[in-house]
């Protein structure tokens, strides 16, 4: 809810909420306003809007994506319409930054995903 913009609605159903303080980015992503969106998360403000709007989104480890000014406990996280876009965004966001005292040291991370196969897996039902 914003006094300037009003209530953010879920693009999939305008009667529904978008779920958190990063809901504007989630609504924009779900509505197709762009492929790459970013939110900040302390208690679910990326994860809830992403889940409620049918997006890929997560809260990375503290310091994986630097924030200036930093706040211990707050993480930036991606919100995208597909996993490939999420991995692309993380490839560029997950870099160290001296302005963030919680920023993690440089690390070579493989932000790619190979297609998974279910061949050979067994499924059990009760």
pLDDT tens per residue, range 17-28 = 898 889 999 999
Q: Is residue 109 part of a domain?
A: no
Q: Is residue 15 part of a domain?
A: no
With residues binned 3-state (H G I as helix, E B as strand, rest as coil), the percentages for the chain, rounded to 5, are 20, 15, 65
What pLDDT digit, counting tens, does each position of 21-56 carry? 899 999 999 999 999 999 999 999 999 999 999 999
Q: Is residue 43 part of a domain?
A: yes
Tell me the pTM: 0.83
Total domains in the chain come to 1
Domain that holds residue 55: 23-94
Q: Is residue 11 part of a domain?
A: no
122: which residues sit within 8 A by CB, 6+ positions away? none
Q: Is residue 67 part of a domain?
A: yes
Q: Is residue 101 part of a domain?
A: no
Q: Is residue 89 part of a domain?
A: yes
């Amino acid at each position: 809810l914003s006094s300037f913009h009003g209530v953010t609605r879920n693009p999939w159903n305008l009667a529904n909420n978008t779920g958190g303080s990063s809901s504007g980015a989630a609504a924009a992503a779900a509505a197709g306003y762009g492929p790459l969106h970013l939110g900040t998360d302390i208690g679910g403000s990326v994860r809830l809007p992403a889940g409620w709007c049918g997006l890929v989104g997560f809260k990375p480890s503290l310091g994986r994506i630097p924030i200036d000014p930093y706040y211990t406990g707050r993480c930036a996280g991606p919100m995208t319409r597909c996993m490939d876009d999420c991995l692309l965004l993380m490839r560029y966001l997950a870099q160290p930054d001296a302005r963030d005292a919680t920023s993690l040291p440089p690390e070579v991370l493989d932000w790619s995903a190979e297609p998974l196969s279910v061949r050979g897996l067994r499924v059990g039902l009760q």
